Structure 1
């Protein structure tokens, strides 16, 4: 009787697990395998793939636009990841209480996360408009001449970072809030008895307790920055002067504009390896166990 019940439970469990496993195999694992295979071919979608060995990777070494897109992506990462961590953790610390209106602010901060990246980018396209934009309008109130954010090669990436921070920090804030809620209050009470101040409690209790949470958030931020596409596509189209063309944008141009799927797949493989290395480095820096 017990064996029948156990068999039935196992069968039901497998039924529940089957849909996500099938989706993972069809839409994640299979495309990954296909991308790796195509990276060694010359494939234009129309004709059959032609094996070319390592020629695509040799081409990458001398591809000026690949290095420009990699530099832009790294620049975006350097700007966005520390800012995203600081902003989301700061908001979580500020809202980690049961005071009135805290729930409202949590909701307001999280709302941009629910919007699509394309809709958010379209909104910010008008906010950053040099003549009619809200941001330059606010600067004008203080008699500051607002710049042409999206049309200046030095400011365009900074504008994209500002939009990304506004759109994404709410989700990371909620993760940090969950981590803060998991820290036993008895630690802080004991620290207060010992005469510790707020900074000491933050340094010796809060941050060590948030190691795994920080690793999770920072890893998600790093992966997200190296996959940035929608913002640059909607706001700047990679301009001005290739100042905001990113790796994924360059992959898109090669694969879907130039129909050079083999070369696009080879860049995708390089991007995967970069993200893997960055994740391992981040794990070592945060000293977190996966």
Structure 2
């Protein structure tokens, strides 16, 4: 779907990849409804974007709140008239601990934001997307959605659920005007840990060693994939490499990521 003159809703638009998606969508001629839980982060995104209200609206919404999400389409339509695309980008990680160390509240929070938030948004906006001549639904999964990462088992489960949800939607919507993409980012230089309330000692040094992808580059890859109607969008060389390796030898891929995470978190 060509993005020029389209109206696109972006969750998690207050920071990281979401903020860059908002800015680059505007640069490509789209109108944007930016959604985030943090109103000050949305204000900062709007200030950085410098777009007039008719091109950029901001909406303070908790995507895990079903009632709030159900009310969102009417707000976006009142501002922009139509909705041509939705990018479900909002997400959080869990504390870096094993499953037996993770409390129920943390498990529920990760699943509520990552999976239920994506599902609520999809169900709220899909009827509107289906009325458009062409439309696009984009769900951000993760490299951790097809490759288990030690210490992020529930996060991975939530993103695996997003993966299968999106793949099912792709099949269901093949004969409709709505195209569907599932996105698998690898390591991207965002502040997702801080926004998730997770503290990681030495994070900046680890980020440098891991050679993470800048959020602006991640957003560019995602939007290029959308404009090419790509079903699967792998973001970053690590995501592409591990996708190939996992297809060839799942056990080898799991052992490799286990060693890399052990070394990264212990150093």
Q: TM-score, normalised by structure 2?
A: 0.25
Q: TM-score, normalised by structure 1?
A: 0.24
Larger radius of gyration: 1
User: Higher relative CO (CA 8 A, sep ≥ 6), structure 1 or 2?
Assistant: 1
Which of the pair is proportionally richer in strand? Answer: 2
